Amino acid sequence: MKLFISIATYNESHNIEKLIRALYSLNLPELNVVIVDDNSPDGTSEIVVRLQSHFSSLHLIKRERKSGYGGAHVEGFRYALKKDADVVISMDADFSHNPVKIPEMLEEVKQGFDVVVGSRRVEQGKVIGWSLWRKCCSKGAMMLSKALLGIKTKDLTSGYRAYRREVLERINVEKILSNGYSFLEEMIYWVETAGFKVKEIPIVFRDRQFGKSKLSKWEILKFFVTIFKLKYLTIKLLHKEPKKASKKALLIDRD
């Protein structure tokens, strides 16, 4: 099973070497790590370049400017698919996603699940270090997404996910509308729309210890805006040709 781990970075010099070493210490067969760096001024990419001499399957995609979390992962996914990845995992660089959960995620994929989500919203999952404001925003996004879009995944804003290759090909990541963190809810919406099997496994999410959080109030607002955009897109298609249209047809006709 050829595995690629996609990590989007911006100013993660305090974390990136420790994370890369932790990933390779798992001794996973056919492991590849792809760092998509948005031209971090703190030297994140330079650290990755230095580590490439130690880890031959460590890849770096350096973008010219800070262009968004979602777009970074789309580039990472595209790169992994071109390199014949069987499974692609997305995760954050700040250790809020514990690497030790990766073998469990891969085992669930082997058991037949198409997408495995590291979830804070299932039994034994939890969040440590969030403010009341952050907790309220997260809960609000979950409730609205379930009400308007019918999303069943409990933790639709988790960025810790494993995707089988076929999932990324079927939902066509090139057509993802969102570029920021709202990319996460849009991805899970298309995953469920396509009828893929999703499994949530519990994780303990610890807020970052080093560096500054990238989740601004504007990004939180975009979560909610994306919900309404997806709802509008659904209504538009289903009313276009009611007799022929289906929710799955959205995957094709969503430009």
Each residue's pLDDT tens digit, 90-109: 999 999 999 999 999 999 99
Count of structural domains within the chain: 1
Instruction: Give me the sheet containing 198-202, strands edge to edge.
Output: 58-62, 31-37, 3-9, 87-91, 161-164, 115-119, 198-202
Q: Which two structure tokens, joined as six digits, stand for 34?
A: 């792809």
Quote the pLDDT of residue 185: 87
Please state the length of the chain: 255
Per-residue confidence (pLDDT) for residue 144, from 0 to 100: 84
> What is the per-residue pLDDT for 66?
84
Strand ranges (DSSP E) for 38-179? 58-62, 87-91, 115-119, 126-128, 161-164
Q: Report the CATH number at residue 125.
A: 3.90.550.10
Contact 64, 39 (CB under 8 A): yes
Give the range of the structural domain holding residue 142, as residue numbers without chain letter: 3-251
What is the per-residue pLDDT for 132?
87
Q: Please check the confidence at residue 125 and state whether its pLDDT lies above 70.
A: yes
In angstroms, the Cα distances linking 91 to 111, 135, 160, 163 are 21, 20, 5, 12
For residue 43, the number of C-alpha atoms closer than 13 Å in the C-beta half-sphere is 6
pTM of this structure: 0.88
How far is the C-alpha of 81 from the C-alpha of 33, rounded, in Å? 13
- Model confidence over 156-185: pLDDT tens digits? 989 999 999 999 999 988 888 787 778 898
Q: Does the structure show a pLDDT above 80 at 52?
A: yes
pLDDT digits over 73-87, tens only? Answer: 999 999 999 999 999
Stretch 239-245: mean pLDDT, rounded? 54
Percent of the chain, pLDDT > 70?
Answer: 87
CB hemisphere CA count around 207 (13 angstroms): 11
Residue range 50-75: mean pLDDT, rounded: 94
pLDDT confidence bin for 120, thresholds 50/70/90: very high
Structural contact between residues 162 and 105, judged by C-beta atoms closer than 8 angstroms: yes
- What is the DSSP secondary structure assignment for residue 173, as one 8-state letter? G
Inter-residue contact 19 to 97 (CB < 8 Å): no
**Residue 246 pLDDT more than 90?**
no
Paired strand residues for 87: 3, 164
pLDDT value for 210: 55
**What is residue 215's predicted lDDT score, i.e. its pLDDT?**
57
Whether residue 43 is predicted with pLDDT greater than 80 in this model: the reply is yes
For position 219, what pLDDT does the model report?
65
pLDDT reading at 208 higher than 90: no
* 245/253 Cα distance (integer angstroms): 10
Burial class (CB in 10 A: 0-12, 13-18, 19+), 233: middle
